[in-house]
Structures are given as C-alpha cells and as structure tokens.
Amino acid sequence: MPNNISFTDSLEKIPVEIFKTPKEGSRYVAEQISVLIKEKNSQGKKAVIGLATGSTPKSLYAELVRMHNEEGLSFKDVITFNLDQYYPMEADALNSYHYFMRKYLFEQTDIDPKNYFLPNGMIPKDKIKEHCADYERKIEEAGGIDLQILGIGINGHIGFNEPGSPMYSKTRLISLDNSTRMANSQEFGNISEVPRMAITMGISTIMKSKKIILMAWGKTKAPVIQKAVEGNPTEEIPASLLQHHDDCSFVLDEFAASDLTRFKSPWLTGECEWTPKITRKAVVNMALQLNKPVLSLTDHDYNESGLSDLLVEKGNAYDINLEVYYMLRDSITGWPGGKPNAVIPKHPERSEPYPKKVIIFSPHPDDDIISMGGTFMRLHDQGHDVNVAYQTSGNIAVTDEFVTRFLDFAVGFEKIFHIDDTISKKVFETSSKFLKDKKSTEQDSPEIREIKGLIRRCEARATCKYVGLTDDQIHFMNLPFYETGTIEKKPMGKEDVDITVELMRKIKPQQIFAAGDLADPHGTHKVCLDIILAALNRIKSEPDNEWLNDCYVWLYKGAWEEWDISEIEMAVPMSPEQVRKKRYGIFIHQSQKDSVPFQGSDEREFWQRAEERNANTANLFAQLGLTKYAAIEAFVRLKSALEENDL
C-alpha cells in the first residue's frame, strides 16, 4: 500500500502515490494491470495496454512475469502498443525496444506475438508518415488504449515527446534532445552510438488513453517530477500536460517524490512537526533563498517565508538562529575519526577508541578517492587503521582503446626483455584480435573483462599506495552481482553478502564509510549499499557481534550529486593543498580520464565534478555565516545497526 498522507496538498495537480521502494511501487502498478486484464476478459474483451521501456518499468515487468508464473495471470487476451522506438534501429539490436520487450516481458509470458505492436525502427524514411498513421489506426481498431504506462525523462519527456512537442501531436518521427541522448548513452556506452531520432506516439495519442500511470524512481527524477506535478502545464515540460487528463496518476518512490513541497518544504503545507531536523532544513533553506547568514535572519524574514508557525513554536528569530547555527558549526571537523584525548560533546565522531579500524567501501575502484579523498587521506594521516574495500571490478568502464594501449605495452615489454611466454603471447594475440573484430553491440570476452579489471585494480592499488596504505589494507571484493559484462547487473545475491560479512568480521571496524549516492545512473551504488546493509543485518543477528555496538556507518555521495547542506552531519574541510593532493590521487585513475564509457549525462571529468562539488559545499557553509574553506567533503550518518530493528 502507498504511504498515507494526512492532508491533500493543493499544490499537487496530479494524484501521486508514493512508495518506499521501486519494487513496492511496481507491485502496486502490476496489480492494477492484473485487475484490468481480468475485468476486460470477464467481459469477453481484450485489455489494451500501452507499454514503456527503459530502466523504470523493468521492475514492473519482473512483477508481471512473477504473477504470470506464480498466480496464473494470462496475457493471451492482451494487446499491447509500445510508446516508441529508436530510428534507425534493427529489431534484434541489443538496444532495440523490440529486443527489450521480448527479453523482459513478451517471451516470459503467454502473450500472442500477433497482439503486441511496436514502431518499426527500420521503415524507409519515405514510408514513415504512412507507418505512423497506420500505428494510430491499429490503436483505434483495438478500441483505444485502456491503460498507458509511462516513464519520464529528466527533461520531462514522455515517450520521446521532447520539450516543445505540441499538445496535439500524433505518432511521428522526432529528433532526440541532446539531454535525452546523454541520459540514454549509459545504455550504449558512448553518446556517439545513441541514435539521433526516434518514432514516438504523440502527446495527443497518449492523452486519448482511458487511464495513465506514470512511474518514476530515483533522486534524479525529483526536480522534473515537482515541475510536472506542481507547476503550470506547459509544452516545455511534456509530462506536465498530463494535468489535463481525467484519470492520470504518478507512482513514485520516496526519492523521486523528494522535491514535492510536502517533503521539501512541509511547513508550507500547513502540517509540520518542528523537529530539530525540520527546523534546520527550514532555516537553512530560508537563509539561502534570502542570501543571508543564519545569524542575520529576523522575525520579519520568518513571517515572510511562511515560517510564522516556527516562531510561535520556538520563540524569536534570535534563539532559533543560534540553534541552527550551532548545528551547522558542530558538524564541521578536521578530525573525521574523532579527536583523541578530547571531550567534545557535539562532535560528529567519538574520541575513543583511538586509533579506529576503518573500512571505506568503494563501489567502483575510484569512488573512494573521488568522493572522500580528502577524508581518506586525513584518516590515514591521523593514525587510524584504514582499509579500502573495492566492491566491484569496474571492468565495463574501461575503453577498448585503453586496453589496446596496455596490450601493446605488454607485447613490447616481452620483446625488449626477450621474454618467451607462450601462454601470454596467445592471450595477447587472442585479445588483440577480439578487439579488432569486435562489433559495437558485442559484449567483451572473459579475457578482455579480466584485463580491464586488472587495469582498474592496478590504478586503485596505486592510489592507496599514494595515500600511504599497505597491501594488507587493500581489499578487492569483486562482488559477483556486477560481473555480467554489461551495464545491466544481476540483483544482489547471497554470495555478495557472504563476501561482505567475511570482510567485516575479519576487520571488526569501528567506522564504516559507504556510498549513499543513489543518483548513480547505473544503480551499482544502490546495490552495493544494499549489500552492506544486508551484511550488517546478518551480523547483528549472529553471535560475536559486540563490535557492532561501537561501529558508526557514514554515507558519502559519489560523483553524481552532494548531500543537501541541511542534511550534512559531518563536514570535513580541505585546504587548497589538500584539494590538489586529492586531484592528483584521482589522476592516477588514467583509464577514467578524458573519455569514460557510461559516465551519464554529466560531461565533466570525475576530478572536475569532485572539486566543483566540494567547493560549492564550502561556499554554502560560508554563505550561511560559517568559516570559509577551500572545499568540504560531506557525510550523513546511518544509525548504528544495533540501534534499529532493521536497517
């Protein structure tokens, strides 16, 4: 069931259902599809369903397949029409939506192949208009779409109706917006491989559907969801036009819903419990909007910003300002492992034990230095036993050209030093030939994946040595869920958790740092965090877990975003020299410089993202009236595993 909200927010112009996880939201939508199919079939009719592709509906299709296998849900009397298709794109290509739908739904159910329809991505250009008109006719002949499933792009597109698409547009060929191509490049490996055009149902076609459900998961969708739900309907945000539909709802997870006013500024909705966390969020947001230091805010500012209830609850602005200022001040520390031999009640970390055993979990072989390189170095320099655990090999994020460079080096090395290794030569020859003949849609061979993994391990080990760690403090976990050879990963499994539990038991850390960056477009960070939490929960339920009582878990953000300043619980400042040192540590990862496969919609290199993010965090603290630093790395603490019933 969706989370119940005790008020109806007049700001929300489209009904919204919010779930804790995408899986729960998908189950809710799948149930509605099941009810529709059964109702139509009981009337002797076929249910007509419009389907979407991309990462969003994968969990929906998985649930429908489960219902088919375990609950007998039949698709024999179902007709489907897909929203869109890349152009040009062969039906059997790995990135084709024909291939996607067969893989995730059609071939795993009993749907009649004659009953599912998708635009033809290889239709000759001079036949496209006729093909699109025929697609519209087929929908009408089927009786119209009973339920249309939608996703949403970060620019607000639905189907491939990009910003500016007319309200009355029909199925047609469209040029893809650059932001869409950048976002979708994660599925292709390189933006140059993403088609520039697509055939899509028009907005008018979508709006004729009897019922519409738009699904969205993740923090990256939050800004556009807020605009679509709370803003004015405009063709510049095509999803906002759904406000004109009589039966449309949005199904979101908590992250996608996080920018809605009820969550971002609950005090504006009329119902708000003034906890310290909410108070800090409200005051910080107000100070930033007014461009004032926290201590300069006045009663008038509170009243004009909709915070008069906070004044009534807590008194005058002066007292509230001090309360929030002290929260911000006390989060800043140059001692991320705790300051030894010091009693600082409000310090984010404990002074004892000292030195601490620390595990820095790094989802990819460079997240440690990119996301918390300054803190990483400071923990080591301050005498703590720092261990880095690289959770995945990161082998898909190495270009073939980079592998070729290393193969050439290895061959040249053997020639110079007259090394006669028949096995190595055979591997080099086989690998070189594979890369030479490799097709753009072809997956890497096991040998190439091993070489790419080796390249990343060498870079990660060199970074740790640069910081000062020894070999026994560097751990390559190579979690199995990642090793598919493609961007799409397996769900976490027991073996992933087993490996993580074993490492934790071996080290028994007092501090754990983990990636809480759920904006990672590929989902690897989310799976890695889930594995850590599952491992902690297992250890919690077993004997010999006393060390867990004294373990703090700190979450950092990765290359994709930063914590909101109102959420930060530990802020570690960096000097200009420390910023430079961190940059040089990132540079060691040469395979990730210049051009990186699957880097998402942000064209900046990782070191640039890190420096700009860290500098921006420092500037925000200074803007609020705190000391101005060159850069700040930020963390939020996860409650101790033994303080909660479930993580």
Q: Where are the domains of the chain?
A: 16-262, 271-331, 357-393+449-638
DSSP bridge partners of 80: 49, 116
Could you give the CA distance from residue 374 to residue 377 in angstroms, rounded to a whole number?
5
Q: What residue type is 363 in one-letter code?
A: P
pLDDT at 404: 85
The confidence score (pLDDT) of residue 444 equals 81
Low-confidence ranges of the chain (pLDDT < 50): 1-8, 640-647
**β-strands 570-574, 147-150: how paired?**
unpaired
Annotation: CATH topology of 16-262:
Rossmann fold (3.40.50)
233 prior amide bond cis, ω within 30 = no
Tell me if 295 sits within 8 A of 303, measured CB to CB. Answer: no
What pLDDT is recorded for position 160?
95
- As a residue count, the chain comes to 647
pLDDT at 494: 96
Q: Do domains 16-262 and 357-393+449-638 have the same CATH topology?
A: yes
Residue 583, CA distances (Å) to 54, 578, 612 in order: 35, 9, 12
Q: Which fold has domain 357-393+449-638?
A: Rossmann fold (3.40.50)
Q: Which residue has the tokens 């869920």?
A: 481
Q: Going edge to edge, which strands form the sheet with 78-82?
A: 16-19, 248-253, 212-216, 147-150, 47-51, 78-82, 116-117
Label residue 338 exposed, middle or buried (CB < 10 Å: 0-12, 13-18, 19+): buried
Q: What is the pLDDT of residue 440?
A: 60
Cβ-based neighbour number of residue 587 at 10 Å: 15
Q: Which residues belong to the active site?
A: 84, 155, 157, 162
Q: What torsion do the CA atoms of 180, 211, 20, 70 make, to the nearest 10 degrees?
A: -110
> What angle is formed at CA 114 by the lines to CA 108 and CA 116, rounded to 5 degrees?
60
- Beta pairing partners, 155: none
Helix (H) or strand (E) holding 230: helix 222-230
- C-beta of residue 255 within 8 angstroms of C-beta of residue 518: yes
Burial class (CB in 10 A: 0-12, 13-18, 19+), 433: exposed
The phi and psi torsions of 267 (rounded to 5 degrees) equal -65, -20
Asked if residue 184 lies in contact with residue 157, where contact means CB atoms within 8 angstroms, the answer is no
